[in-house]
Amino acid sequence: MTEHPAPPPPLFDRVFINDPYPAYAWLREHSPVHRTRLPNGVEAYLVTRHEDVKAVLADPRLSKNAATSFPGWQPGRTGIPGEHRSGIAAHLLNLDPPDHTRLRRLVSKAFTPRRIAEFEPQIRRIADELLDACERTARDGDGTVDLIRGYACPLPVAVILEMLGVPPEDQAIFHDWAFGVVDRGSGRGGVGRSVKRIRGYLRETIHKKRLNPGEDLLTALVRASDDGEHLSEDEAASMAFILLFAGFETTINLIGNGTLALLTHPEQRARLLADPALLDNAVEELLRYDGPVEFATWRFTTEPIDVGGVRIPAGEPVLAVLAAADRDPARFADPDVLDLGRAATGHLALGHGIHFCIGAPLARLEGRIGFERLLARHPGTALAVPAESLRRHSGLIMRGLYELPVRLAPEGP
């Protein structure tokens, strides 16, 4: 191992949370597989180089099931809000083959790329309705609007609710619960309460869908079968919850982080405005540059493994740091530079291997439409506060903003 020229930079303090990339650069160079104590008290190995992260994400010797691979594991440390309080732990992110294989195959039958692509007109309509509301908020107030609360958060929530088949009369309260899950404005204990309410609602609705099926995603989950095998109601509720959770928080952070990157890199925003054909590529670069998921969810070694020249014993927690991997200069030239024309394929922002994000096509579509509509209607949008004053969430898994105050402007920058 390379001798450290200086102590490692502080990890998990406020400076790190707002901008972890200098610390990740140090770790990649000097301690690419780094054992540290996390804020939740767990000792874990952080893997930071692109090649190593990709290998870890695909290594079957690393288990996702803490119940069997890490007996001392305490509930509530997975990064999935409130799951230990509400019985939704039996989902794709916590399972290994063969259970993972069976459930993912069944869920994939319901959550198909074709079903997602057919939803593009609704996503566009929802985005425009939310921008209409943002304009009214700005006009009736001080001229500013919080793009997280007004646009980035309600867009994916509204989309997934329509896809799941939640009736219009229930959607307003569901939005409140969703804000609670991502801990925006909820009081102490609000995350757990919101998750319990969502879980209870999903179980009740799935039971109704068995009796009175519709044409929505919940009905598709109920109907999904493989050689006569169906999801149980508990499994369907857990799968619906993880699709809901992954289907909105990832997109919230993609739109929030991506919009901030565009606002703080005016030359790249101007480039995109001049050439809208760059939009699909821009989404990939924004995912790479400051992605929505900082750490892949927990893995545990089931036997001793070698990663980056470091021997990790059996029974150890391992966190693959996606944000560090996607700024690795060994994989991407000038990785700290935002370049919307870059060939960003190969980034790991949405994972790799059998646990690659099942909602990736939906997140990409929502991100593309979200950026497209905002730029088309308000190309001159500007930050209403200094960028350095913005705060990030301090959770281990997701990387996102509490708020993004802006001034909307219909003219170009």
Q: Are strands 310-312 and 305-307 parallel, antiparallel or unpaired?
A: antiparallel
Report the candidate in 381, 394, 355, 126 with the shortest Cα–Cα distance to residue 258.
381
Extended strands (E) in 242-370: 299-301, 305-307, 310-312, 317-320
pLDDT at 225: 57
Helix/strand number for the chain, H first, E second: 18, 12
Contacts of 381 (CB under 8 A, 6+ apart): 259, 263, 374, 406, 407, 408, 409
Q: First-to-last CA distance in the chain?
A: 48
**Tokens found for residue 199:** 């879980």
pLDDT at 80: 45
pTM: 0.90
Tell me if 51 sits within 8 A of 315, measured CB to CB: no
Give the single-character DSSP code of 390. -
Query: Per-residue confidence of the chain (413 residues) as pLDDT tens digits?
Result: 555 567 778 999 999 999 999 999 999 999 999 999 999 889 999 999 999 999 999 999 999 988 777 766 654 554 444 444 444 445 667 788 888 888 788 778 777 888 888 899 999 999 999 999 999 999 999 999 999 999 999 999 899 888 888 888 888 887 777 777 665 444 555 667 777 888 888 888 888 888 888 888 888 888 875 556 677 777 788 778 877 776 688 999 999 999 999 999 999 999 999 999 999 999 999 999 999 999 999 999 999 999 999 999 999 999 999 999 999 999 999 999 999 999 988 999 999 999 998 889 999 999 999 999 999 999 999 999 999 999 998 878 899 999 999 999 887 66
pLDDT at 146: 97
Q: Can you tell me which residue has the tokens 């609710």?
A: 161
How far is CA 298 from each of CA 254, 308, 315, 410, rounded to the nearest angstrom? 21, 18, 12, 43
The torsion region of residue 148 among left (phi > 0), alpha (psi -120 to 50) and beta comes to alpha
DSSP 6-38: SPPPP-SSHHHHH--HHHHHHHHHH-SEEEEE-
pLDDT at 100: 83
Helix, strand, coil distribution of the chain in percent, nearest 5:
50, 10, 40
**Tokens found for residue 376:** 């088309």
